[in-house]
């Protein structure tokens, strides 16, 4: 029977980049989380949401022969371009198959950055403490002499190294992840901690203007502590290519939406209503925002479009904490 990867262990966001005593730190990569296993020549490559990624990443499938049988890894799929992590090169991969996937794999090959070991030649390792899993992962790379696309994620207990990593944002490093040295791997549990260098914010696309084929702007929300979806702001005009890509990820909500019946202003201080289409609040997007807020805590200026994050879920987005928000 083929081994099924567990749900991934998760992290809670912390505001402080200081490395706690008894913890190790790893870089937080700008890529897609993925769990991988190899059994008798069969590879399973699954996204955090459970999507089968094998057809989209033939270069990973081909390289799986480097790994010993009955072995499973947790890691991040990344693409390097011109000395930086190019997340946008991953976005076009998910729905590609066959010759299309092979062409992209040759043009912008992905790497699998391994940061945890869940199984080693048939032995379950998830209950081992992190320090033991980490040592076994290092030995696996050395003994198998793994080469690209396999990459060993760095790990450190030195606070000075953590501070240095946090200066690498220009290469696509998002921050750091902290892992307790004596903790096991616990599926679905937010037992790790992550610190992100804050240059962007995440929100949930809950409505759009324009057409579904090419949305013009997005209306963004966040859930509050009570589970209510609050409006936080509107995006700048989407680039045409981004609009077309985002449109494929949005699903109209009909009348079953917490914003049903709301009206939105066409602009700051304007009384003209904005024509919007509500969508299921499922897609997470990344935007750039400034510090200007209105009295309700909403972004006063349009949020600058950065990218869609279909690899994240609404639960990953920070909660709205400024109190009730009207429409």
* Residue 2 and residue 52 in contact, taking contact as beta carbons nearer than 8 Å: no
With a CB cutoff of 8 Å and minimum separation 6, the contacts of 279 are 205, 206, 207, 208, 250, 251, 252, 253, 257
Q: Which has the closest alpha carbon to 134: 118, 117, 158?
A: 117
Cα(170)–Cα(267) distance, integer angstroms: 34
- Torsional class of 279: left (φ above 0), alpha (ψ -120 to 50), beta (otherwise): beta
Largest CA distance in the chain: 68
* Residue 38 and residue 64 in contact, taking contact as beta carbons nearer than 8 Å: yes
Q: How far from the centroid of its chain's Cα atoms is residue 92's Cα? A: 15
Cα(315)–Cα(186) distance, integer angstroms: 18
Beta bridge partners of 248: none
Q: Which has the closest alpha carbon to 301: 312, 310, 290, 314?
A: 290
28 is catalytic: yes
Q: Which has the closest alpha carbon to 196: 284, 316, 278, 88?
A: 316
Active-site pick, 28, 49, 180, 194 = 28
Residue 231 DSSP SS3 = strand
Residues recognised as catalytic: 28
């Amino acid at each position: 029977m083929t081994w099924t990867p567990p749900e991934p262990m998760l992290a809670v966001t912390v505001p402080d980049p200081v490395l706690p005593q008894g913890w190790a730190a790893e870089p937080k990569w700008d890529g897609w989380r993925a769990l991988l296993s190899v059994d008798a020549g069969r590879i399973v490559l699954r996204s955090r949401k459970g999507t089968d990624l094998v057809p989209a990443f033939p270069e990973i499938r081909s390289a799986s022969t480097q790994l010993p049988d009955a072995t499973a890894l947790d890691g991040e799929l990344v693409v390097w371009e011109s000395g930086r992590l190019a997340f946008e090169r991953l976005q076009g991969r998910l729905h590609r198959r066959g010759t299309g996937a092979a062409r992209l794999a040759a043009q912008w090959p992905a790497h699998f950055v391994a940061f945890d070991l869940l199984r080693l030649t048939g032995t379950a390792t998830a209950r081992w403490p992190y320090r033991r899993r980490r040592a076994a992962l290092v030995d696996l790379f050395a003994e198998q002499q793994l080469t690209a696309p396999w990459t060993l994620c760095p790990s450190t207990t030195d606070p000075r190294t953590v501070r240095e990593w946090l200066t690498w944002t220009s290469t696509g490093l998002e921050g750091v992840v902290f892992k307790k040295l004596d903790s096991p791997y616990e599926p679905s549990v937010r037992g790790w901690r992550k610190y992100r260098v804050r240059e962007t914010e995440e929100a949930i696309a809950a409505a759009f203007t324009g057409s579904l084929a090419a949305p013009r702007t997005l209306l963004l929300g966040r859930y509050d502590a009570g589970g209510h979806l609050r409006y936080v702001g509107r995006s700048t005009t989407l680039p045409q290519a981004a609009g077309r890509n985002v449109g494929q990820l949005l699903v109209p909500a009909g009348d079953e939406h917490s914003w049903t019946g709301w009206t939105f202003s066409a602009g700051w201080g304007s009384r003209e209503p904005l024509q919007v289409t509500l969508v299921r609040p499922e897609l997470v997007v990344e935007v750039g925002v400034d510090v200007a807020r209105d009295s309700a805590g909403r972004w006063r200026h349009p949020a600058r479009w950065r990218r869609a994050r279909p690899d994240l879920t609404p639960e990953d987005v920070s909660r709205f904490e400024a109190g009730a928000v009207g429409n």
